[in-house]
Amino acid sequence: MNIDRLLQQRDTNDGRTGAIPPLDEWLPPLSGDMNIKIHADGSWWHEGQRFARPKVARLLATLLRLDEDGYCLVTPVERWRIEVEDLPLVAVEADYRDDAWWFTTQFDDVVRLDAEHPLTVTLTPQGEAVPQLLVRFGLAARLHRNVYYQLVEAAETRDVGDGMSEIGLMSAGHWYAFGQLNDESTGEAP
């Protein structure tokens, strides 16, 4: 995988440097493992060093998908597996408009929170329950702490019975829960 050649091709593709190629149509055999790791904070590392050129990480993010072999960088003729510490993307911005929440990743993917791109709560490698959002090709984005706090501030509670309430929000006509409260303990001092 020649990075400089890929960068040059992307720059000459009608100026669409951030366009996502049809990765689901590309089915090359696994070429092997590449010494690239995406850390939990969304930073990209190669051979133990952080990428010096953000443009390279942005390009490679457009070639990333999750398949049966794990997280892979895919071109029409190559497929290289890489290591991902938690999730490969981070939602760094959130905005509510047109009756829906919209999220932007560190690579400018813009995703509407809806049935096709749901919000779920999963565990980080450290065991913390944190929301994630499905983005594309099996890839998900972990919500950055400031985005999570923004959602908590906008959240509602709903009674789910048995003395419990869900914390969540509506987006595109669907309810997305990201926490629960014991109704008996709310309002009590620790």
Per-residue confidence (pLDDT) for residue 9, from 0 to 100: 52
Residue 61, pLDDT above cutoff 80: yes
Radius of gyration of the chain (CA): 19
146 or 6, higher pLDDT: 146
Largest CA distance in the chain: 61
Per the prediction, the chain carries an average pLDDT of: 89
Q: Residue 178 is which amino acid?
A: F
Give the pTM.
Answer: 0.85
Write the DSSP string, 35-65: EEEE-TTS-EEETTEE-S-HHHHHHHHHTEE
Question: Whole-angstrom Cα distance, residue 169 to residue 121?
Answer: 13
* 81-90, 140-149, 158-167: range with lowest mean pLDDT: 158-167
Q: Say which range, 10-14, 84-88, 183-187, has the weakest mean pLDDT.
A: 10-14
Structural domains of the chain sorted by starting position, each given as residue range(s) with its CATH number in brackets: 3-84 (3.10.540.10), 89-182 (2.30.270.10)
- Kindly report, residue by residue over 64-102, the tens digit of the pLDDT: 999 999 999 999 999 999 999 999 999 999 999 999 999
